Amino acid sequence: MSNGAVPNGSPAPTHTQSQRYLSTRGDDSGLSFEDVVLKGLASDGGLYIPEQVPTASQWESWKDLSFVDLAYEVLSLYVSPSEIPAEDLKDIIRRSYSTFRADDVTPLLPLQDNIHLLELFHGPTFAFKDVALQFLGNLFEYFLVRRNEGKTGRDRYHLTVVGATSGDTGSAAIYGLRGKKDVSVFMLHPKGRVSPIQELQMTTVLDANVHNLAVTGNFDNCQDIVKALFADPDINSTHKLGAVNSINWARILAQIVYYFYSYFSLARQRPDSFKIGDKVRYSVPSGNFGDILAGYFAHRMGLPVDKFVIATNENDILDRFWKTGRYEKQASYGSAAEGGLESDGVKAHEDGVKETLSPAMDILVSSNFERLLWFLAYEFASSAGMDDEWNKKQAGQEVSSWLADLKNKGGFGPVYKDVLETARRTFESERVSDQETLDTIRALYKDVAYVLDPHTAVGVEAAKRSAARAAPGAPLISLSTAHPAKFAGAVTLALKDEVGFEFDSKVLPPEFVGLDKKEKRVRDVENDWKAVRELVKEEVEEELKGKR
Ligand SMILES: Cc1ncc(COP(=O)(O)O)c(C=O)c1O
Ligand SMILES: N[C@@H](CCOP(=O)(O)O)C(=O)O
């Protein structure tokens, strides 16, 4: 499909029409923005996508807008004033980004050669998740205030958010929702598999509506529990479940903004060599595929992108898909020749997930990949020359069958050659080992005195490899997804021998000092979704009775 076109023949909605949403598995459609934000996951198990991706025909005219004004332009293409009046949407956006420490919210820095770093960690929890979760927290609040007007007690709509985290979504969601009325938030993290700072950021928040659960298992187990809860008619009839993971469409939507914003920042920084309309490459450290998928939507709206580089760690299901066309849970562990650290004691768990130095990306199944699969299947179906309804139906069926194979057989594929070629036209992939991650952190520190977090280092290493394939001088934007202080272990391992390097004075922000002395609240729970369901019911009840 050509750049920026809508995914079907019908015109995209205008500002005043309401955008409608459908499920990637085909059994749910015609939903409003508010419905999909509050529901999170479709009842057929699919993820919501807009029925039409709006073409941003005037996108060049956004070039001088502030982050907040640009966010309004982008979001208002998806949320009509009939759902959220313009002034209210502007107010939600303004409040969401007033909590950021950087004036331009997501600053772009020249890093090295033609690589620019998009710093996404200036929000309250020092990770890119804040960009979407500050917004989503305010959006939930807005919808709940509206729904609960004039209602009291048990008649009020009470949202029970259940989320899974490998470290960053958890604290960002908690900071986005703490203390908010009519919302309880249950955050499941894999016990002992998030960094110490990440764990403290979550468990030291003591607001009554915040519930941290440490699950015996890995991130995929946490994500499966969340999906099982959404699929369970029992808890759905008693509790209104809400999602904060990137299965929630609002997460992806908010992240589209910084692709446009960084593109314009690049044009301002390189007036002689980069013009509006030129193409750029983006390298994105990827796990659940939400961040890069937001870029894909920006591209479909019209942003000129040469390639998106999917940067994975040694949990490389995505990289293997791009190389082979097969999407299989079983991880292929790095060989000594690739510089893997297996022999140095990095743990490969029996469950197939490898514990790496970039733990937030220790994910086997990337839930948002399903959204891309829908578009790949849709384009494949479109080549048959049938009508748009048929194309969408085919796409839904194909995605359902791929996902059923993933669940029942552990994988699917190889996909049709044309499907893989479409995927390769827009994306390429790189797998970065732990050793390469450490080398990248060290090299950047030596060369430009900049400290990368390990996830960002995975992206920068992938960016360097991609730059070597791109046209000479072509600019590349590498996404910096977290502050290095969140990953003291990896950063210290990389830089401990560097003269003058000292973690506490060079990296640690004042906000993290003393966190370990604070009171914590967390409950351990087995990897058993029914046990989690009972615990959720129990704790919501206590919270509503005001006992917490
Ligand atoms: C620091 C960091 N980098 C990268 C990622 C991967 O992003 P995504 O899951 O959207 O692919 C995550 C987790 O999601 C993260 O926390
Ligand atoms: N890396 C994430 C995993 C959850 O991803 P999400 O983007 O779907 O919320 C984390 O840090 O929790």
User: Beta-carbon neighbour count of residue 352 at 10 Å?
Assistant: 17
Which ligand is the nearest neighbour of the Cα of 248? 2
Q: What is the mean pLDDT of residues 86-90?
A: 98
Cα 400 to Cα 377: distance, rounded to the nearest angstrom: 11
Query: What band does 548 get if pLDDT is binned at 50, 70 and 90?
Result: low
**Rounded (to 5) percent helix, strand, coil in the chain:** 45, 15, 40
Q: Using an 8 Å Cβ cutoff, are 34 and 143 in contact?
A: yes
Residue 35: burial class (beta carbons within 10 Å; 0-12, 13-18, 19+): middle
Q: Using an 8 Å Cβ cutoff, are 313 and 431 in contact?
A: yes
Tokens, residue 212: 């941290």
Q: Whose CA is nearest to atom 12 of ligand 2?
A: 165
Residue in this structure with the two tokens 């949407």, named with its chain if needed? 89
How far is the centre of ligand 1, averaged over its atoms, from the C-alpha of 517 (Å)? 28
Pairing of strands 159-164, 183-190: parallel
Residue in this structure with the two tokens 């086997």, named with its chain if needed? 364
- Render pLDDT for 289-317 as a digit per residue (tens, 0 to 9): 999 999 999 999 999 999 999 999 999 99
Q: Is the pLDDT of residue 155 over 60?
A: yes
pLDDT score recorded for residue 547 = 59
pLDDT score recorded for residue 339 = 36
In angstroms, what CA-CA distances link 69 with 94, 161, 168, 291? 9, 29, 27, 21
Query: What band does 338 get if pLDDT is binned at 50, 70 and 90?
Result: very low
- Which of 367, 288, 392, 290 minimizes the C-alpha distance to 21? 392
Alpha-carbon torsion (78, 83, 89, 95), positive or negative: negative
By three-state DSSP, how is residue 546 classified? coil
pLDDT score recorded for residue 272 = 94
Q: Is the pLDDT of residue 538 over 50?
A: yes
How far is the centre of ligand 1, averaged over its atoms, from the C-alpha of 149 (Å)? 37
How far is the centre of ligand 2, averaged over its atoms, from the C-alpha of 206 (Å)? 22
Q: Is the pLDDT of residue 90 over 90?
A: yes
Q: What SS3 string covers 307-343? A: EEEEEECCCCHHHHHHHHCCEECCCCCCCHHHCCCHH
The secondary structure of 500-545 as a DSSP string is: T--HHHHT--GGGTTGGGS----EEE-S-HHHHHHHHHHHHHHHHT
Which ligand is the nearest neighbour of the Cα of 173? 2
Maximal C-alpha separation, the chain: 66
Q: Whose CA is nearest to atom 11 of ligand 2?
A: 168
Choice from 48, 169, 286 to test ligand 2 binding pocket (greatest atom count within 8 A of CB): 169
Q: What is the mean pLDDT of residues 279-284?
A: 98
Tokens, residue 133: 């979760």
How far is the centre of ligand 2, averaged over its atoms, from the C-alpha of 546 (Å)? 30
DSSP state of 127: B
User: Beta-carbon neighbour count of residue 286 at 10 Å?
Assistant: 32
Which ligand is the nearest neighbour of the Cα of 245? 2
Q: Hey, what amino acid is at 180?
A: K
By three-state DSSP, how is residue 178 classified? coil
* % of the chain surpassing 70 pLDDT: 93
pLDDT score recorded for residue 11 = 47
From 129, 227, 392, 464, the catalytic residue = 129
Q: Whose CA is nearest to atom 15 of ligand 1?
A: 360
What number does the ligand 1 atom closest to the CA of 246 have? 10
User: Beta-carbon neighbour count of residue 318 at 10 Å?
Assistant: 25
Q: Hey, what amino acid is at 44?
A: D
pLDDT score recorded for residue 280 = 98
Which ligand is the nearest neighbour of the Cα of 218? 2
Cα 433 to Cα 447: distance, rounded to the nearest angstrom: 21
Q: Residue 507: what are its φ and ψ, rounded to 5°?
A: -120, -40
Cis preceding-peptide flag for 85 (omega within 30 of 0): no
Residues lining ligand 2, judged by CB closer than 6 Å? 165-170, 245-246, 287-288, 290, 360
Q: Is the pLDDT of residue 377 over 50?
A: yes
Pairing of strands 48-50, 21-23: antiparallel
Choice from 47, 121, 130, 168 to test ligand 1 binding pocket (greatest atom count within 8 A of CB): 168
pLDDT score recorded for residue 337 = 34
- Render pLDDT for 125-149 as a digit per residue (tens, 0 to 9): 999 999 999 999 999 999 999 999 9
What number does the ligand 1 atom closest to the CA of 456 have? 3
Q: Identify the bridge partners of residue 41 per DSSP, sorted by sequence position.
A: 47
Q: Hey, what amino acid is at 481?
A: T
What number does the ligand 2 atom closest to the CA of 167 have? 11
Residue in this structure with the two tokens 């759905």, named with its chain if needed? 236
Q: Is the pLDDT of residue 395 over 50?
A: yes
Choice from 258, 361, 368 to test ligand 1 binding pocket (greatest atom count within 8 A of CB): 361
pLDDT score recorded for residue 154 = 87
How far is the centre of ligand 1, averaged over its atoms, from the C-alpha of 482 (Å)? 9
Q: What is the mean pLDDT of residues 170-185?
A: 97
Least-confidence region, from 178-182, 211-215, 353-357, 542-546: 542-546
How far is the centre of ligand 2, averaged over its atoms, from the C-alpha of 128 (Å)? 10
Mean pLDDT value across the chain: 92
Cα 471 to Cα 465: distance, rounded to the nearest angstrom: 12
Q: Is the pLDDT of residue 14 over 70?
A: no
What number does the ligand 1 atom closest to the CA of 168 have? 16
Least-confidence region, from 11-20, 280-289, 389-398: 11-20
Taking the CA atoms of the chain, what radius of gyration do you get in angstroms?
22
Tokens, residue 17: 């029409």
How far is the centre of ligand 2, averaged over its atoms, from the C-alpha of 246 (Å)? 7
Model pTM? 0.94
Q: Residue 70: what are its φ and ψ, rounded to 5°?
A: -65, -40
- Which of 394, 374, 230, 208 minimizes the C-alpha distance to 289? 374
Q: Could you tell me which residue, 3 or 487, shows the higher pLDDT?
A: 487
Q: Using an 8 Å Cβ cutoff, are 46 and 24 in contact?
A: yes
Q: Whose CA is nearest to atom 7 of ligand 2?
A: 246
What number does the ligand 2 atom closest to the CA of 290 have? 7
What number does the ligand 2 atom closest to the CA of 251 have? 7
Q: Give the ranges where 383-433 is alpha helix by DSSP (H).
A: 388-409, 417-426
Q: What is the mean pLDDT of residues 398-402?
A: 98
Q: What SS3 string covers 443-486? A: HHHHHHCCCCCHHHHHHHHHHHHHHHHCCCCCCEEEEECECHHH
The secondary structure of 182-227 as a DSSP string is: TEEEEEEEETT-S-HHHHHHHHT---TTEEEEEESS-HHHHHHHHH
Phi-psi group of 116: left, alpha or beta (phi > 0 → left; psi -120 to 50 → alpha; rest → beta): beta
446 as an active site residue: the answer is no
Q: Is the pLDDT of residue 351 over 90?
A: no
Phi-psi group of 345: left, alpha or beta (phi > 0 → left; psi -120 to 50 → alpha; rest → beta): left
Residues lining ligand 1, judged by CB closer than 6 Å? 127, 167-168, 246, 285-291, 360-361, 455, 481-482
pLDDT score recorded for residue 295 = 98
Query: What band does 4 get if pLDDT is binned at 50, 70 and 90?
Result: very low
Cα angle, residue 374 at apex, residues 372 and 378 outer, rounded to 5°? 120
Q: Using an 8 Å Cβ cutoff, are 291 and 255 in contact?
A: yes
How far is the centre of ligand 1, averaged over its atoms, from the C-alpha of 367 (Å)? 12
pLDDT score recorded for residue 257 = 98
- Render pLDDT for 91-109 as a digit per residue (tens, 0 to 9): 999 999 999 999 999 999 9
The secondary structure of 283-294 as a DSSP string is: EEE-SSSHHHHH
Q: Hey, what amino acid is at 301?
A: M
Cα 310 to Cα 426: distance, rounded to the nearest angstrom: 10
DSSP state of 31: B
